[in-house]
Amino acid sequence: MEYKYLKYEVASGILTLTLNQPEKMNAQGAASCRELASAFEAADRDEDVRVVIVTGAGRAFSAGADLTINEGVDNYFFDRMQGREDTEQHRDEGGVVSLIIYDMKKPVIAAINGAAVGFGITMTLPMDIRLASKNSKMGFVFARRGILFDGCASWFLPRLVGMDVAADWVYSGRIISAQEAYDKRLVSELLDADDLMPRARHIAREMIDNSSAVSIALCRQLMWKMLGAGHPMDAHILESRALNWAFGMPDAKEGIMSFLEKRLPNFPMRTNTDMPGFYPWWEQQEFKYK
């Protein structure tokens, strides 16, 4: 598929997904959100993709919603100021993107190379690892615009950083430094700008070269979905079922033999064809814009 607002580049199992509107600091409108949703869905289907890295072109990761007004062009924010009926039918475009990432079988790494505010930061919350350049800044600025957060942030953010930190950042809408984001565990590493993408690729390479794609997919979904479980027994039941299944599969044999033979594994199973019959075990939601 051709993308207008993104770069979609696959090499050696790594998809580098670059938000590509540097002239507007990679601000996102409805059309670019739809491209993002489509790209993540394509990545999850693509057996050549093992890990996704998301970054921004130019000096920003993403400035969030596109606040510019151009006649004949999708105007994400100002189109919505015309008023909407109070209806359950409307779906926030950013939330659809986050939900698709949440259900993916592939790991997603955010390489935050500059400013990440509004949807520019909430889109990273369902990603598995967030790396940031030392000069990056972040902000959940919605309340300062008289609106509220998107991207399912009310579910993800308190789980990642705790309610007190989330409340501080969201209620104040203030811009936070990369150091504060690191100290409060929103990002896992701070790096010099030149080291950001090499580090992201190194992490991706470790996953690709050493781990089973199917094992990663199941572990990823167990961890994310168990965040909403009511009791650890729910995890115990699913882990027992998945582990019992995995021991009888070719990847387990290859993992054990490669360990005994002191070599890198060559796992044969694929996420599109070899997931267990009970996957997905959750009720799948419909992703669409209304």
Pair (183, 250) in one structural domain: no
The amino acid occupying position 235 is A
Q: Which of 157, 191, 207 is the last residue of a domain?
A: 207
Phi/psi at 252 (5° precision): -65, -45
List, for residues 148-158, the tens digit of each pLDDT value. Answer: 999 999 999 99
Domain that holds residue 230: 212-290
Pair (219, 192) in one structural domain: no
Contact 119, 150 (CB under 8 A): yes
Which pLDDT score, from 0 to 100, does residue 71 have?
Answer: 45
Q: Is residue 134 part of a domain?
A: yes
Can you tell me the distance from the alpha carbon of 215 to that of 122, in angstroms, rounded to the nearest whole number? 27
How are beta strands 14-19 and 189-191 bridged, if at all? unpaired
Q: Is residue 126 part of a domain?
A: yes
Give the CATH number, domain containing residue 244.
Answer: 1.10.12.10
Mean pLDDT of the chain: 92
**Average pLDDT of the residues in 245-253:** 98
Contact 53, 15 (CB under 8 A): yes
Q: How many domains does the chain have?
A: 2
Q: Which of 207, 233, 248 is the last residue of a domain?
A: 207
Q: Is residue 1 part of a domain?
A: no
List, for residues 147-188, the tens digit of each pLDDT value. Answer: 999 999 999 999 999 999 999 999 999 999 999 999 999 999
Handedness of CA 269, 274, 280, 281 (dihedral sign): negative
Pair (154, 117) in one structural domain: yes
Its pTM stands at 0.93
The amino acid occupying position 279 is Y
**Average pLDDT of the residues in 83-96:** 74
Pair (103, 235) in one structural domain: no
pLDDT of 6 strictly over 50: yes
Percent of the chain with pLDDT over 70: 91
Pair (17, 32) in one structural domain: yes
Give the CATH number, domain containing residue 154.
Answer: 3.90.226.10
Pair (279, 172) in one structural domain: no
Pair (184, 228) in one structural domain: no
Q: Is residue 33 part of a domain?
A: yes
CA 287 and chain centroid, separation: 16
Pair (65, 130) in one structural domain: yes
Pair (23, 128) in one structural domain: yes
Pair (37, 107) in one structural domain: yes
Pair (40, 168) in one structural domain: yes
Q: Which of 156, 186, 207 is the last residue of a domain?
A: 207
Q: What secondary structure letter does DSSP report for 65?
A: B
Which pLDDT score, from 0 to 100, does residue 287 have?
Answer: 63
Contact 153, 95 (CB under 8 A): no
Pair (88, 151) in one structural domain: yes
